[in-house]
Amino acid sequence: MAIFTGAGVAIVTPMKENGDVNFDKLGELLEEQIERGTDAIIICGTTGESSTLSHEEHLDTIKYAIDKVAKRIPVIAGTGSNCTETAVYLSQEAEKYGADAVLLVTPYYNKATQKGLIKHFTTIAESIHIPVVLYNVPSRTGCNIQPETAVYLAQHVENIVAIKEASGNISQVAKLMQLADGCIDLYSGNDDQIVPIMSLGGKGVISVLSNVAPEAAHDIVAKYLEGDVKGSLELQLKALPLCDKLFCEVNPIPVKKALNLLGKEVGPLRGPLTEMEEEHAQELAKVMVDFGMKLA
């Protein structure tokens, strides 16, 4: 049984002007996502600026989301770290709070060998009892989970059940699914590759796009699963210009700008991220309007 099928939102972490986490605004975003058909909440991932949250803030944000969502849809907590011990601690706390699963990014900066990845993920997964989603995003971490490694983990660690694939390498994903033979669930980590990932057996997407267009991301997956591949593809292609602009600067700079353009007031970014270049902001606003969004 998959943790979820459909589109899970990799939700932003709203900030007050002084840089504090804005929990009231986070609550509003969570309610809106549920109302608009999002299938799961991914809290404190890359889009949630987890790397600049203190451990206390990180855990407070996870707990707030779990309590607010109150089991209406699954909540997956980003608890990865480049320190195995830290990831164990965050994952154990998220489990205590009632998270439905954890999302574990590959160790960044210090990286790891494939043997090191197996030990890292196994140690974390065996410290908890809830499902684990591996997160492969080598463009940000400098560390790639090879297909053989992901399959080994899924076959040898009971609660490692899924992978968020954001390598962008469709050939690698195809090899993964061929080797896996059904032992691991696959989620797209790139909004511009939802249909290709679904065609390889994907269960859905962990989406940045869902922050601003939850219905679109949900419907791309839903139509595909219903057998309307043509309709799914049409929606995917329609969303491509918006997806492109949401990643024209490093995530989550554009998506936070997009939410602010919509009047959501999610606040500033934490350093070292800076506000979007004005030229890019204007281009983003244009594609949002073209997509049918009403700006504030």
Instruction: Please identify every residue annotated as catalytic.
Output: 135, 164
The residue written with tokens 């896996």 in the block is: 180
Tokens at 224, concatenated:
């595909």
191: closest CA among 209, 173, 174, 176? 209
